[in-house]
């Protein structure tokens, strides 16, 4: 994952009720994430997960977030911190994502860093990260249904806490394991849809379905 910082911070203006724009403000760039690194495995019951990121010059604080969702639709942690470290206990299995934004002296929150993912497994003989005896997640797909033209809804269920991709694109997974994604196809005729679910142990389940797009 590329977490490099660009050389110039983004700028933003705000509209007043009368319609004029306020002076442009320069937002601070996000910090570089350090740990846990991408896809770092943890075992449920470990004392805590330690987070660390680089300091950003001029930042008065940082907004630190942890979510089960790659899109941060719901938050497990949403905390403003003055330090460049944080610690948290994880009490359930699954994949988690974390990110940090810089907060300027005026309280303006800059853009978030690209999120990093870490995985938590149960710690048993069958669920430890990378354990060859761990079972893959369940994956049940519904029949894709058309929404008009090249658009189809791909929907299914997997184990809670698993991550899902459809044709290599991340999909939002609900807390009960349900997921769905609107997919557009550019090719008329038969198209392959590859759905992959990965659990906290790193085990994968892959299924493929075909969708026929009419001209």
Spell out the domain ranges in the chain: 28-121, 139-213
Is residue 72 within 8 Å of 97, Cβ to Cβ?
yes
pLDDT of amino acid 2? 35
Question: pLDDT under 70 in the chain at which residues?
Answer: 1-24, 46, 122-133
Paired tokens of 60: 């008065």
The residues near 60 (Cβ < 8 Å, ≥ 6 apart) are: 82, 103, 104, 105, 107
The whole-chain average pLDDT of the chain stands at 83
The dihedral region occupied by 110, where left means phi > 0, alpha psi between -120 and 50, and beta the remainder, is beta
What are the pLDDT digits (tens) for 18-42?
556 656 678 899 999 999 998 888 8
Q: Looking at the domain 28-121, which fold is it?
A: Immunoglobulin-like (2.60.40)
Architecture of domain 139-213: Sandwich (2.60)
pLDDT of amino acid 15? 54
């Amino acid at each position: 994952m590329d977490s490099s910082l660009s050389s110039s911070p983004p700028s933003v203006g705000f509209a007043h009720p009368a319609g004029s724009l306020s002076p442009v403000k320069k937002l601070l760039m996000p910090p570089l994430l350090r740990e846990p690194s991408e896809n770092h495995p943890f075992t449920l019951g470990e004392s805590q997960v330690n987070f660390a990121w680089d300091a950003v010059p001029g930042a008065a604080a940082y907004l630190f977030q942890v979510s089960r969702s790659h899109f941060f639709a719901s938050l497990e942690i949403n905390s403003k911190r003055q330090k460049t470290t944080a610690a948290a206990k994880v009490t359930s299995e699954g994949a988690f994502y974390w990110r940090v934004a810089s907060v300027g002296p005026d309280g303006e929150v800059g853009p978030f860093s690209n999120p990093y993912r870490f995985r938590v497994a149960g710690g048993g003989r069958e669920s430890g990260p990378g354990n060859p005896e761990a079972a893959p997640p369940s994956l049940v797909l519904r029949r894709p249904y058309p929404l008009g033209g090249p658009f189809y809804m791909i929907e299914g269920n997997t184990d809670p806490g698993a991550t899902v991709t459809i044709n290599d694109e991340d999909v939002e997974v609900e807390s009960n394991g349900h997921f769905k994604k609107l997919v557009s196809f550019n090719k008329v005729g038969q198209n392959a849809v590859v759905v992959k679910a990965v659990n906290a142990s790193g085990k994968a389940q892959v299924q493929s379905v075909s969708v026929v797009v009419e001209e």
